[in-house]
A = this chain, B = another copy of it.
Amino acid sequence: MTASLEFWFEFASTYSYLAAARIDALARAAGVAVVWRPFLLGPIFKSQGWNDSPFNIYPAKGRYMWRDMERLCQRLGVPLRRPSQFPRNGLLAARVTLAGGDAEWVPRFVRSAYRANFGEDRDIADAAVVAALLRDAGASPDQVLAQAVTPTVKDRLRAQCERASELGLFGAPSFVTRGELFWGNDRLEDAIAWARGG
Protein backbone atom coordinates (compact mmCIF):
# COMPACT_ATOMS: atom_id res chain seq x y z
CA MET A 1 0.00 0.00 0.00
CA THR A 2 1.39 3.36 -1.03
CA ALA A 3 1.44 6.15 1.55
CA SER A 4 -0.76 9.01 0.44
CA LEU A 5 -1.60 12.56 1.37
CA GLU A 6 -4.69 14.62 0.58
CA PHE A 7 -3.73 18.13 -0.46
CA TRP A 8 -6.68 20.48 0.15
CA PHE A 9 -6.25 23.79 -1.64
CA GLU A 10 -8.26 26.88 -2.60
CA PHE A 11 -7.17 28.78 -5.70
CA ALA A 12 -7.62 32.15 -3.95
CA SER A 13 -5.26 31.18 -1.12
CA THR A 14 -1.79 32.69 -1.20
CA TYR A 15 -0.07 30.08 0.94
CA SER A 16 -1.65 27.32 -1.15
CA TYR A 17 0.36 28.74 -4.08
CA LEU A 18 3.56 27.92 -2.18
CA ALA A 19 2.38 24.44 -1.21
CA ALA A 20 1.30 23.67 -4.78
CA ALA A 21 4.74 24.70 -6.01
CA ARG A 22 6.51 22.47 -3.47
CA ILE A 23 4.38 19.40 -2.90
CA ASP A 24 5.19 17.24 -5.92
CA ALA A 25 8.95 17.15 -5.49
CA LEU A 26 8.76 16.65 -1.71
CA ALA A 27 6.12 13.92 -1.91
CA ARG A 28 7.89 12.10 -4.73
CA ALA A 29 11.18 12.11 -2.81
CA ALA A 30 9.35 10.60 0.18
CA GLY A 31 7.43 8.04 -1.88
CA VAL A 32 4.09 9.58 -0.93
CA ALA A 33 1.21 9.85 -3.44
CA VAL A 34 -0.61 13.20 -3.57
CA VAL A 35 -4.40 13.35 -3.88
CA TRP A 36 -5.34 16.81 -5.20
CA ARG A 37 -8.44 18.15 -3.42
CA PRO A 38 -9.63 21.57 -4.59
CA PHE A 39 -12.25 23.18 -2.38
CA LEU A 40 -13.72 26.58 -1.63
CA LEU A 41 -13.03 28.52 1.53
CA GLY A 42 -15.97 30.89 0.96
CA PRO A 43 -18.62 28.68 2.60
CA ILE A 44 -16.32 27.89 5.54
CA PHE A 45 -15.43 31.56 6.06
CA LYS A 46 -19.12 32.45 5.81
CA SER A 47 -19.95 29.99 8.58
CA GLN A 48 -17.35 31.85 10.69
CA GLY A 49 -19.07 35.15 9.98
CA TRP A 50 -16.61 36.37 7.33
CA ASN A 51 -17.72 37.68 3.93
CA ASP A 52 -14.19 38.32 2.73
CA SER A 53 -10.66 37.00 3.15
CA PRO A 54 -9.38 37.46 6.73
CA PHE A 55 -6.38 39.15 5.12
CA ASN A 56 -8.74 41.91 3.95
CA ILE A 57 -10.88 41.98 7.09
CA TYR A 58 -7.86 42.31 9.38
CA PRO A 59 -5.48 44.84 7.75
CA ALA A 60 -2.44 44.15 9.98
CA LYS A 61 -2.70 40.44 9.19
CA GLY A 62 -3.03 41.26 5.48
CA ARG A 63 -0.04 43.60 5.39
CA TYR A 64 2.06 40.97 7.11
CA MET A 65 0.92 38.19 4.78
CA TRP A 66 1.95 40.05 1.62
CA ARG A 67 5.38 40.83 3.03
CA ASP A 68 5.75 37.23 4.26
CA MET A 69 4.80 36.02 0.77
CA GLU A 70 7.48 38.28 -0.76
CA ARG A 71 10.12 36.71 1.45
CA LEU A 72 8.92 33.14 0.89
CA CYS A 73 8.45 33.46 -2.89
CA GLN A 74 11.90 34.94 -3.25
CA ARG A 75 13.42 32.04 -1.35
CA LEU A 76 11.42 29.48 -3.30
CA GLY A 77 12.17 31.15 -6.62
CA VAL A 78 8.55 31.59 -7.70
CA PRO A 79 7.19 34.89 -9.03
CA LEU A 80 4.93 37.11 -6.93
CA ARG A 81 2.94 39.98 -8.36
CA ARG A 82 0.28 41.15 -5.96
CA PRO A 83 -3.04 40.48 -7.69
CA SER A 84 -5.10 43.54 -8.60
CA GLN A 85 -8.06 41.61 -7.21
CA PHE A 86 -7.84 39.61 -3.98
CA PRO A 87 -9.27 37.15 -3.35
CA ARG A 88 -10.00 36.03 -6.90
CA ASN A 89 -12.92 33.68 -7.49
CA GLY A 90 -11.47 30.18 -7.76
CA LEU A 91 -14.76 28.42 -8.53
CA LEU A 92 -14.07 27.73 -12.22
CA ALA A 93 -10.50 26.56 -11.61
CA ALA A 94 -11.72 24.24 -8.84
CA ARG A 95 -14.39 22.72 -11.10
CA VAL A 96 -11.83 22.31 -13.90
CA THR A 97 -9.50 20.50 -11.51
CA LEU A 98 -12.27 18.14 -10.46
CA ALA A 99 -13.31 17.60 -14.08
CA GLY A 100 -9.73 16.51 -14.73
CA GLY A 101 -9.97 13.74 -12.14
CA ASP A 102 -6.76 11.69 -12.14
CA ALA A 103 -5.58 13.04 -15.51
CA GLU A 104 -1.88 13.53 -15.79
CA TRP A 105 -2.25 17.25 -16.63
CA VAL A 106 -4.04 18.15 -13.39
CA PRO A 107 -1.02 19.02 -11.20
CA ARG A 108 0.45 21.08 -14.06
CA PHE A 109 -2.83 22.97 -14.43
CA VAL A 110 -3.08 23.64 -10.69
CA ARG A 111 0.46 24.99 -10.50
CA SER A 112 0.02 27.21 -13.54
CA ALA A 113 -3.34 28.56 -12.31
CA TYR A 114 -1.67 29.59 -9.05
CA ARG A 115 1.18 31.18 -10.94
CA ALA A 116 -1.29 33.03 -13.20
CA ASN A 117 -3.16 34.39 -10.17
CA PHE A 118 -0.29 35.26 -7.86
CA GLY A 119 2.70 35.59 -10.18
CA GLU A 120 1.16 37.17 -13.28
CA ASP A 121 -2.00 38.94 -12.03
CA ARG A 122 -4.22 37.13 -14.50
CA ASP A 123 -7.91 36.56 -13.77
CA ILE A 124 -8.38 32.83 -13.23
CA ALA A 125 -12.16 33.35 -13.04
CA ASP A 126 -12.08 34.17 -16.76
CA ALA A 127 -12.79 31.13 -18.95
CA ALA A 128 -10.42 32.42 -21.67
CA VAL A 129 -7.55 32.53 -19.16
CA VAL A 130 -8.40 29.03 -17.88
CA ALA A 131 -8.58 27.76 -21.48
CA ALA A 132 -5.07 29.05 -22.15
CA LEU A 133 -3.78 27.43 -18.95
CA LEU A 134 -5.42 24.12 -19.90
CA ARG A 135 -3.85 24.23 -23.35
CA ASP A 136 -0.41 24.85 -21.83
CA ALA A 137 -0.95 21.97 -19.40
CA GLY A 138 -1.70 19.61 -22.29
CA ALA A 139 -5.47 19.28 -21.83
CA SER A 140 -8.29 19.95 -24.33
CA PRO A 141 -9.74 23.28 -23.18
CA ASP A 142 -13.16 23.03 -24.88
CA GLN A 143 -13.81 19.53 -23.63
CA VAL A 144 -12.67 20.18 -20.07
CA LEU A 145 -14.47 23.53 -19.76
CA ALA A 146 -17.71 21.94 -20.98
CA GLN A 147 -17.32 19.13 -18.47
CA ALA A 148 -16.48 21.55 -15.66
CA VAL A 149 -19.97 23.07 -15.68
CA THR A 150 -21.95 19.82 -15.80
CA PRO A 151 -24.21 19.03 -12.81
CA THR A 152 -21.97 16.05 -12.03
CA VAL A 153 -18.87 18.17 -11.54
CA LYS A 154 -20.77 20.96 -9.76
CA ASP A 155 -22.20 18.39 -7.33
CA ARG A 156 -18.79 16.84 -6.83
CA LEU A 157 -17.34 20.19 -5.79
CA ARG A 158 -20.25 20.84 -3.43
CA ALA A 159 -19.73 17.43 -1.84
CA GLN A 160 -16.01 18.09 -1.57
CA CYS A 161 -16.67 21.38 0.26
CA GLU A 162 -18.98 19.57 2.70
CA ARG A 163 -16.30 16.98 3.23
CA ALA A 164 -13.81 19.77 3.99
CA SER A 165 -16.10 21.03 6.76
CA GLU A 166 -16.54 17.52 8.14
CA LEU A 167 -12.77 17.09 8.26
CA GLY A 168 -12.51 20.25 10.36
CA LEU A 169 -10.76 22.33 7.70
CA PHE A 170 -10.78 26.06 8.41
CA GLY A 171 -8.08 27.33 6.05
CA ALA A 172 -5.83 26.43 3.16
CA PRO A 173 -3.63 24.74 2.34
CA SER A 174 -4.51 21.79 4.52
CA PHE A 175 -3.18 18.26 4.42
CA VAL A 176 -5.00 15.16 5.60
CA THR A 177 -3.32 11.81 6.07
CA ARG A 178 -3.90 8.83 8.33
CA GLY A 179 -6.55 10.63 10.36
CA GLU A 180 -4.44 13.72 10.98
CA LEU A 181 -4.99 17.28 9.82
CA PHE A 182 -2.12 19.66 9.11
CA TRP A 183 -2.77 23.30 8.27
CA GLY A 184 -0.51 25.63 6.34
CA ASN A 185 2.35 25.50 3.89
CA ASP A 186 4.66 25.40 6.94
CA ARG A 187 3.29 21.95 7.86
CA LEU A 188 3.83 20.28 4.48
CA GLU A 189 7.00 18.48 5.55
CA ASP A 190 5.36 17.28 8.78
CA ALA A 191 2.33 16.02 6.86
CA ILE A 192 4.51 14.05 4.45
CA ALA A 193 6.41 12.51 7.36
CA TRP A 194 3.09 11.57 8.99
CA ALA A 195 1.88 9.97 5.75
CA ARG A 196 4.91 7.70 5.92
CA GLY A 197 4.08 6.61 9.44
CA GLY A 198 5.22 9.48 11.63
A interface residue numbers (CB < 8 A to B): 48, 58, 60-61, 63-64, 67-68, 71, 168-171, 180-184, 186-187, 190
For residue A176, give the distance in angstroms from its CB to the closest CB of chain B.
12
Contact B190 A60 (CB under 8 A): no
Contact of A168 among B60, B180, B182, B186 (CB under 8 A): B60
Q: How many copies does the complex hold?
A: 2
Chain B residues in 8 Å Cβ range of A186: 184, 186
> How far, in whole Å, are A68 and B194 apart by their CA atoms in the complex?
13
Contact A181 B48 (CB under 8 A): no
> How far, in whole Å, are A164 and B102 apart by their CA atoms in the complex?
48
Contact A64 B181 (CB under 8 A): yes
